[in-house]
Amino acid sequence: MGIQAAHDVRDAIKKALTQKEEINIVFAAAPSQSDFFERLITLDDIEWGRINAFHMDEYLGIEQDAPQAFGNFLRNAIFSHVNFKNIYYLDPSVDDVTKECMRYESLLENNQIDIVCMGIGENGHIAFNDPPVADFDDKVKVKVVKLDHACRSQQVNDGCFLSLEEVPKYAMTLTIPALFEGKKLFCMVPAQSKAEAVYQTLEGEISTKCPASILRHHLSAKLYLDQLSASKVL
C-alpha cells in the first residue's frame, strides 16, 4: 500500500512540476503514513528543491521536543531526509494560538496547495477535524479544536502515548475546506482499526458524523487500503 501510494504521489509531483516552477504539499503525521514515507524518500527522481512542505495539524500543550509532536514526527520521517525548498511548521509553543492560526492561514493563501498526503482516523476524522468539530463549510483554513475521546484514544492505540491522560486535549488543524483546496488528495489508511471508518467513508451518509465521507465529493481523491482496513468493503 505504502509503495503504491509513494509511486503515485511521485508521478503527481512530476506532472505538477511540468506546469509550475514550484509546488506545495501538505503532509499528515501518523503511523499510518510510515510505509508511504519510507518509500517516498528513496525515490531519486523527485526534485525536492522545487517543493514546499506544509504540516497538517499539531497538538497544543505539548513539549516542543516531544517525539509525539507532529512536527517532530514529520521531521524524522521525511523532512530531514530530503531537501525541500521550504518547510512550514505549525508552532505549538506560541503564546497566541489565534495569531499562529492566522499566520499559517496566510501561508496557505499565498501558496496554493497542489497535493495533500493524508490519512483517516478511527472516528473518520481528516486532519484533526473530529466529528464534533468538523465543518464542511468552515470559513477559516486553520483553527483550534478540542479533540474528542475516540481521537485521543487512537493516539494511545497507535502507541504514540502510554495513557489517555498524556494525550493533549487541544490541537491546531487545517480545516476541511483547506484540505479540499489541494488539487490531488492521496489518502493512506491501513489497519483493522480503520475498517469501520473506511466503510462509512465509502458507503455511509456524507456527513460530519464521518468527516472523511466528504472525500467522495473531491474531484481527485485516491484512497489506499490494505486487506485489514478494506475488510468491510471487500
User: pLDDT by residue (tens digit) across 4-39?
Assistant: 999 999 999 999 999 999 999 999 999 999 999 999
Neighbouring-strand partners of residue 187: 118, 223
CB 203 within 8 A of CB 45: no
Report how far apart, in Å, the C-alpha atoms of 203 and of each of 18, 70, 85, 153, 198 are: 36, 30, 39, 24, 8
Residue 220, in any domain of the structure: yes
Q: What average pLDDT does the segment 169-191 reach?
A: 98
Q: CB-based contacts of 154: which residues, under 8 Å, 6+ apart?
A: 121, 122, 123, 193
* Host H or E run for residue 230: none
Per residue in 124-153, pLDDT (tens digit) is: 999 999 999 999 999 999 999 999 999 999
3-state secondary structure of 15: helix
Expressed as residue numbers, the domain containing 35 is: 2-225
Residue 233 forms part of a structural domain: no
Q: Does 53 map to a domain?
A: yes
- Assigned C-alpha cell, 113: 496547495
Question: Structure pTM?
Answer: 0.96
**pLDDT value at 216 more than 90:** yes
Average pLDDT estimate for 88-117: 97
Supply the CATH number for residue 100's domain.
Answer: 3.40.50.1360
Higher-confidence position of 93 and 86: 86
The answer as to whether 11 is a domain residue is yes
- The band of 63, judged by pLDDT with boundaries at 50, 70 and 90, is confident
Residue 32 lies in a domain: yes
Domains identified in the chain, total number? 1
Quote the pLDDT of residue 72.
Answer: 96
State the pLDDT confidence band at 108, using cuts at 50, 70 and 90: very high
- 175 falls in which pLDDT band (50, 70, 90)? very high
Residue 155 lies in a domain: yes
